């Protein structure tokens, strides 16, 4: 029962989230986070995803955008995908959401400007996206007893893989398609694919997950790619200006 609940949480939390050689053990982070998600039709013998879903279906089940990070504050520029009769018609910017990841609050603005109008504000737990709330975490309900960790190297990058193993063969093929990717070089990163898993591995960066779909073949891959960089002066002034707007909460 516990496993079944956990798998369901994995699937639903995926859509609520719609990504150096240095050791980033400090608390100050600055740069871009590229979030990408893509559906694949199947996996190979090594459990790597193969055959990306193509056409309008592929467009519908995939997405990417760039977020901006300054310390524990995050700016997400949301883009709407427009479909008509199942066909992709293009996209447009819809809104700007500013997150206080430390205090789990957000403000939605109508434009990218220090003096932008507040459209909406609230606490992240109620809305889910990027929240630390356990009920929207993809690892919620997953027992430590089925977790298996492996250190490996992918594209010259040292990572830790978190996988799942069960004695019940009826579920083993399904859960074997799921995996989480952990960067052992980045510690205490303010944004995580799974905060629960990050805590279990001493607050390392859980940056990527691969989840099986209900058909038992397709997998969805979601990744947070962090690129350290200094934000320009205009962006920093917006971050500092919007941070002060939280005082009116």
pLDDT (tens, 9 = 90+) of the chain, 249 residues, equals 344 444 444 444 544 444 333 344 445 899 999 999 999 999 998 899 999 988 877 777 788 899 999 999 999 998 765 555 656 555 555 789 999 999 999 999 999 999 999 999 999 987 667 999 999 999 999 999 999 999 999 989 999 999 998 877 667 788 889 999 999 999 999 999 999 999 999 999 999 999 999 888 899 999 999 999 999 999 999 999 999 999 877
Residue 102 in tokens: 């430390």
pLDDT score recorded for residue 85: 62
39: which strand partners?
220
pLDDT score at 5: 42
Q: For the chain, how far is it from start to end, CA to CA, in angstroms?
A: 40
Give residue 127's pLDDT: 64
Cα-Cα-Cα-Cα dihedral sign, residues 158, 164, 167, 171: negative
Residue 57's pLDDT is what? 75
Question: Residue 152 to residues 38, 137, 183: CA-CA distances in angstroms?
Answer: 23, 25, 11
């Amino acid at each position: 029962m516990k496993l079944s609940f956990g798998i369901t949480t994995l699937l639903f939390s995926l859509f609520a989230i719609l990504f150096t050689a240095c050791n980033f053990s400090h608390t100050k982070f600055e740069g871009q986070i590229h979030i990408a998600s893509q559906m694949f039709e199947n996996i190979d013998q090594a459990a790597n995803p193969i055959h990306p879903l193509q056409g309008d279906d592929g467009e519908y089940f995939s997405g990417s955008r760039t977020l901006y990070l300054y310390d524990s504050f995050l700016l997400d520029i949301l883009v709407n995908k427009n479909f008509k009769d199942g066909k992709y018609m293009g996209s447009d910017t819809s809104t700007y959401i500013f997150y206080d990841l430390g205090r789990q609050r957000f403000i939605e603005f109508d434009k990218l400007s220090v003096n932008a109008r507040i459209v909406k504000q609230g606490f992240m737990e109620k809305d889910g996206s990027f929240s630390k709330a356990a009920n929207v975490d993809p690892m919620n309900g997953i027992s430590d007893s089925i977790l298996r960790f492996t250190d490996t190297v992918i594209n010259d990058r040292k990572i830790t893989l978190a996988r799942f193993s069960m004695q019940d063969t009826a579920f083993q093929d399904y859960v074997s398609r799921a995996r989480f990717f952990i960067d052992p070089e980045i510690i205490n990163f303010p944004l995580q694919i799974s905060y629960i898993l990050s805590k279990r591995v001493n607050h390392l960066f859980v940056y990527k997950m691969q989840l099986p779909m209900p058909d038992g073949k397709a997998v969805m891959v979601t990744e947070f790619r962090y690129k350290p960089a200094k934000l320009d002066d205009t962006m920093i002034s917006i971050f500092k200006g919007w941070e002060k707007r939280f005082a009116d909460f």
